[in-house]
Every structure is written in structure tokens, then in C-alpha cells.
Amino acid sequence: MRVQRQGVTLWKEWLALLVAAWLAAGCASAPQTADPLPSWNEGPVKAAIVKLVDDTTRTGSPDYVPPPERIATFDNDGTLWCEQPMYVEVLFTADRIRALAAQHPEWRTTMPFKAVVDNDQAAMAKLSGEDFLQLVAATHVGLTSAEFRKLVADWLAVARHPRFNRPYTDLVYQPMLEVLAYFRANGYKTFMVTGGSLEFVRAFAEKAYGIPPEQVVGTSYEATYAFTYDVATTRAEAKVMLVDDGPGKAIGIDHHIGRIPIAAFGNSDGDLAMLETTTNSPGSRERPRFAAFVWHTDAAREYAYDRDATVGRLNVGLDAASRHKWRLISMKSEWKVIFPYELAK
Amino acid sequence: MRVQRQGVTLWKEWLALLVAAWLAAGCASAPQTADPLPSWNEGPVKAAIVKLVDDTTRTGSPDYVPPPERIATFDNDGTLWCEQPMYVEVLFTADRIRALAAQHPEWRTTMPFKAVVDNDQAAMAKLSGEDFLQLVAATHVGLTSAEFRKLVADWLAVARHPRFNRPYTDLVYQPMLEVLAYFRANGYKTFMVTGGSLEFVRAFAEKAYGIPPEQVVGTSYEATYAFTYDVATTRAEAKVMLVDDGPGKAIGIDHHIGRIPIAAFGNSDGDLAMLETTTNSPGSRERPRFAAFVWHTDAAREYAYDRDATVGRLNVGLDAASRHKWRLISMKSEWKVIFPYELAK
């Protein structure tokens, strides 16, 4: 009865499903020889990614995963874009604190603000995670999400990387853009799960990665809603709601996504809980799972760092990768190019 | 350069976009005379919904909205399913508290637990919102999301509505199912924004409404992540992270979705901030917006309640609807049928 009465609607939903299935099946009419990951060298890691996508989307595959369950999660800093010599949001935050300092004379004498206002590198190097969250919260407080994103976008338009002398959004990893597009073309939803602030990342994630705001899981702040003179605003408070890093990534995935990812990509110990949640949750064995760390091994083309790094340390994670048979994506050996602009040369 | 190297991937993304555009354009080959909202009586409300979808999806329309911005949000209790004589999660919570009481002898003497354990209706009627959150948190604490959803699903399978003598999931509103399907068929993402707990709603939202877990915004709890004996678990704490009701709905939309909805459907004062955020945010005027309250006016077929109700009160909202020209969906006059099972008669 309902089928007959909802003719157009159901017909369209059916068509959408059919197209999804057709795309998932690999598009019989598309040239099967074209390489979905052209910036990757041939080898076991690339082969494992292609096999995962094929196994989970090919009709009749024993490891077939229905489209709604096709979820892939990606860390941002060091996984999708360059995080050296310093996390980009830290640089934005320092610039923003300095820009706001004139309105906050008390910051000249109060830590952690004093260290940033004075540009005291030694003092800044000693700031704790708590200190940093206090600084970040101070850049958010009182702003709507739209206002904060505008500040970030304006800053990203003029800021330049100290070594590569390019906008930070030029320093995204071409091979990972290909992975994002490859997963999406096969019916996966791609989520970012980042320690960065929601609105910092949302300022560029859709344009840079094709990841829409509703698929960004990040560090969030308490907020206050007001309806004043017929204008509705939600403004951040100087108090963190969720630190979406380390164990917070497992909680962010649980709250925001509500499914175990099929695939997860990280690059540091901060991503450990995300990868563990992907491969070792009680329900993980019901489907194929894939977890990988981008491993920064290329000092010539990008940076080389792991166990001893202060930014993006990969120490416990290296041992866990070996133990759980997660993949290590060595940038030096796996990637033909690092940044998209290299392709235009 | 990138286009050539990513042949298959880009071709598939292009095809997906083409199909989305084609669906959005109304599928030229589909019969345009078929009614997408057959359970709705003809009238200004139905016409307004159809006009909104047409205006925002027809190529060349001055109010055209690109697919990524097509977001529609829906309250659950009283908007998508019956909330009388009591919110379904309250009934589940009371049953669960009683089931757990044997393990918590202290509840026999501690409010608010005592009221529920004793099934003391007078005492329960006096419980505050804080009391209720304490009860709900006690049903979540220590459980993973999967464990909690299983408890809810098992309960929903046997619980029956006291008046209609049917499972609660039978008591969803057929006309709203049509609205959900109609929006989705036209490229909208449909989100639930509910005061209910995330995992309570996720236990049935995908099956009942076609709303996947990652598109449920709800009341959430602090959680603890652990990796023990190679098993990754995220378990709820007895502390609320976000009460996704009233002003919390604006915050939930801001954090989880990160866009202003094009359309929002609620039914009570608890939805006011969601509707205000939709039509009256600083960026709202850049696009068409639509807001509506389902108005419970049908005592014969469902329930009739608004300004004086203790469950699902619509008081301030009725005045706001008049002032902001939001739509009122009078169930008695707008809906031909209320529940899907009426169609099978």
C-alpha cells in the first residue's frame, strides 16, 4: 500500500540505491585498468588498500559491506596535511592571541598568555596541553562558528609555511587525497577525526578534502545559545566539551558516528584509540577492518620523525602497529609525490 | 594533471554528481503527477513543503540550494513518533531502573531512584529534569553504545503502547515518513535532533526512519575509553555531556552538523531553539528556510495537547510560530492517516 502511494519517492530512492550498487560494483563500463591511487608506488600497502575497497564493495564478495556501514576515518594533522614544524592551529592560535592582546592587558602578566604575547619561544616550549587548550579556548570564546571560521579562512589566505613558502592548504598530501576520493567513489563516507577544533578544521575541510562540516569530528567547546532581537546565535565558551585526541577520538567516533569504522588512518600516538576502536572493538570482527599510520620518513621531501618527536610523536603507535598488523605508510617509499603542486611541475 | 591520473575515481565522482543533479532536477522521466506526500491533505502546509523542495532543487531556480547544503532536521518525540501519554525513553528508563534495582539496594532509599523502584506515581510526577537525567544516566553508565542499543532493541520488541496496544515503533507518523523520504529523494540529508539519548534513538532510527547513526544528534554522556586485553571499549559515565533539548538543540546542530538547516520540524517548546536557529541565524537569509511545528490536535486518532501539556508542551512555540510565520501542522486537518498501519486496513 505504501509502495503504491509513494510512487515517485520510492522510485527515486530505489534508483539512488541502484546507482550506488552500480558504483559499488565497480562501474562495468569504466576502464578497470585506470589506477585509483596513481601517486602511490606499487607495493603491499597500496595493494592492501585496493583489496580492502574491492573486498568490501564487490557484489558477492564474502567480505561485502553494505553501503551504510562504509565509514572511513582520517586524522588531519600529519595524516592529511603537514604538521611540521608546528601544528597549524597552534600557529593560528598564537597569531590570534597576539591580535587580541590589546583588548586583554591582563595577558601581559598572565601565563600562558604572556609567553605568546611576548613571543617567548623558551616559555612557549614549556606550555602544557592544558595551557594550550586555554589559549585555544580564548580564541573561540564569544564567537559564533561562522565568525570563527571566517577568522581562520582569512588567516589561511595569508599565512605561509616557513620552509615551503606556500599556504598551508597547499601542503595536503596528494596520495591521501586520492585515498579519500577512492573511498568516496566506492560508497564510503569519509570522516575527519581530529584533535583540532571543529571550526578551525571546518574552515577548509570541505574545499581541501571534500569532507563536509557534518563529517568533521573534532575538539569542541561548551556554548551558549541566545535569541536576542530576533537573531539566533550559539557562541563558544572558554570551556572544552570534548578533547578529540587520544582516548577522545574513540569517544568522538562513538558519539558522532556511532559505527565502528571499516578503515582508519592516523599518524601519531594521538590516533591510537581511533585505530584500536577500528580493529579491536567487540564488533570489529564482523567486518574487514583496516588501520594504518602515515609514517613520516622523508626528510628531503617533507619531514622525518617518529619516536622522539614533540609534534606528532609516533612511539607507542609503532609498537602497536607491529603487534596488531596495522599498516605503516612510509612516505619515502610508498608515495611518488607528497604535495599536489608537485604534479603541476 | 590530476584529472588524467585519477581517471576512474574522478569519473565516478562526476557520475555521482550527475546522478545527484538529475535526481535533484526531478528525474525528467519520472511521472510528475505522482504525489510525494499522499498522506497529506491538500492545503497551504503541504503546498509549502512541496514548494520548498521544488524551489531549492530545481535547476535554474533563484532559490536553488547546492546539494551539500540540503540539510533537514527533525525532532523525534511528538514529531516523528507518539510521545503520549509519556516519552518512550522515560518508560524504558523506569523499566530499566527497576530491572537494575536488585543490584542497587541503596536505590530503595535514595531519590529519585526510590520513586521509580516503588512505582510511586505521585513522587514520579514531581521529579525534575535533573532527576530524570540522573535516572537516564544510571541506565547508561558502564555500558558501551552497542550494549545499550541492544537493551533498547530488546525492550522495544516487547513493550506495548498502553492505548494502541502496539510496539512504539509502529506509532511513527506516516505523513512524516513521507516527508523524510521526499527530502532524501531530493538530495537532502535528514538529521534527527532529539532530546532523547543518542543510543536510545540509534537503536531504532535507521530502521524506523532511514536515519543512520551518524545523523542522530541527541543527548550524550561523558565516556571512558579503555584498551584492555586487546579489546577497545568506550563506556558511558553517569555524567551528561550535552542535553540536546531547548538551547542544547542549537548547540547540537552547531557542533554536529555545522550548517544552518534549510528545514526544521519540531512539535514543542523544546524545539524552539532549533527552529529559531533555522530561520533566524545571521546567515539564514542567504537561503530559503522552512520551520514547522507538528500540532497535536487530534484526540480521536492520536492526542490533543499544546499550551498546558506536561509532556510535549507547545506554548511559547505557538506564539513564536505566529510571529515568525512558521507553519503549524495540525494533525487533525493536515493528515489523512496518522500511523502506517492505518494504510494496511
Q: Do B198 and A247 touch (CB under 8 A)?
A: no
Least CB–CB distance from A36: residue in B8, B38, B232:
B8
Q: Residue A67: closest CA among chain B residues belongs to which residue?
A: B212
Q: How far is A308 from chain B (nearest CA, A)?
A: 24
State whether residue A345 sits within 8 Å of chain B by CB. Answer: no
Cell of A238: 572558554
State whether residue A340 sits within 8 Å of chain B by CB. Answer: yes
Between the alpha carbon of residue A252 and those of residues A195, A248, A323, B210, the distances in Å are: 10, 6, 25, 22
Residues 169-188 of A with CB under 8 A from B: 174, 178, 181-182, 184-186
Alpha helices in chain A, H assignment, sequence order: 2-5, 7-24, 44-57, 88-100, 113-117, 121-125, 129-140, 145-158, 174-185, 198-202, 205-209, 247-252, 272-280, 316-324, 331-334
- Cβ(A250)–Cβ(A277) below 8 Å: yes
Between the alpha carbon of residue A63 and those of residues A23, A59, A285, A286, B184, the distances in Å are: 17, 9, 11, 9, 28
pLDDT digits (tens, 9 = 90+) for A191-242: 999 999 999 999 999 999 999 999 999 999 999 999 999 999 999 999 999 9
State whether residue B282 sits within 8 Å of chain A by CB. Answer: yes
Q: Do B6 and A68 touch (CB under 8 A)?
A: no
Place of cell 509513494: A6
Q: pLDDT per position in chain B (345 positions), as tens?
A: 333 344 444 445 545 555 555 554 444 444 456 999 999 999 999 999 999 999 999 999 999 999 999 999 999 999 999 999 999 999 999 999 999 999 999 999 999 999 999 999 999 889 998 999 999 999 999 999 999 999 999 999 999 999 999 999 999 999 999 999 999 999 999 999 999 999 999 999 999 999 999 999 999 999 999 999 999 999 999 999 999 999 999 999 999 999 999 999 999 999 999 999 999 999 999 999 999 999 999 999 999 999 999 999 999 999 999 999 999 999 999 999 999 999 986
State whether residue A239 sits within 8 Å of chain B by CB. Answer: no
Least CB–CB distance from A225: residue in B144, B251, B256:
B251
Q: What is chain B's length?
A: 345
State whether residue A225 sits within 8 Å of chain B by CB. Answer: yes
Whole-complex ipTM? 0.90
More confident residue, A14 or B82: B82
Cell of A39: 601517486
* DSSP three-state, residue A196: strand
**How close are the terminal C-alpha atoms of chain B, in Å?**
61
Give the whole-angstrom CA distance, residue B141 versus residue B111: 18
Alpha helices in chain B, H assignment, sequence order: 2-5, 7-24, 44-57, 88-100, 113-117, 121-125, 129-140, 145-158, 174-185, 198-202, 205-209, 247-252, 272-280, 316-324, 331-334
Count each helix (H run) and each strand (E run) in chain B, helices first.
15, 7
User: Residue A251: its chain B contacts at CB < 8 A?
Assistant: 223, 225, 234
Q: How far is A35 from chain B (nearest CA, A)?
A: 7
Cell of B78: 511528538
Q: How far is B323 from chain A (nearest CA, A)?
A: 10
Residues 46-65 of B with CB under 8 A from A: none
Give the whole-angstrom CA distance, residue B98 versus residue B76: 25
Residue A14, pLDDT above cutoff 70? no
State whether residue A41 sits within 8 Å of chain B by CB. Answer: no
Cell of A72: 572511513
Give the whole-angstrom CA distance, residue B318 versus residue B333: 17
Cα A293 to chain centroid distance, Å, stands at 13
Q: Residue A38: closest CA among chain B residues belongs to which residue?
A: B5
Residues 286-325 of B with CB under 8 A from A: none
Give the list of residues 6+ apart from residue B172 with CB closer than 8 angstroms, or none: B80, B81, B82, B208, B209, B339, B340
Q: What is the pLDDT of residue B259?
A: 98
State whether residue B27 sits within 8 Å of chain A by CB. Answer: yes
* DSSP three-state, residue A45: helix
User: Residue B212: its chain A contacts at CB < 8 A?
Assistant: 68
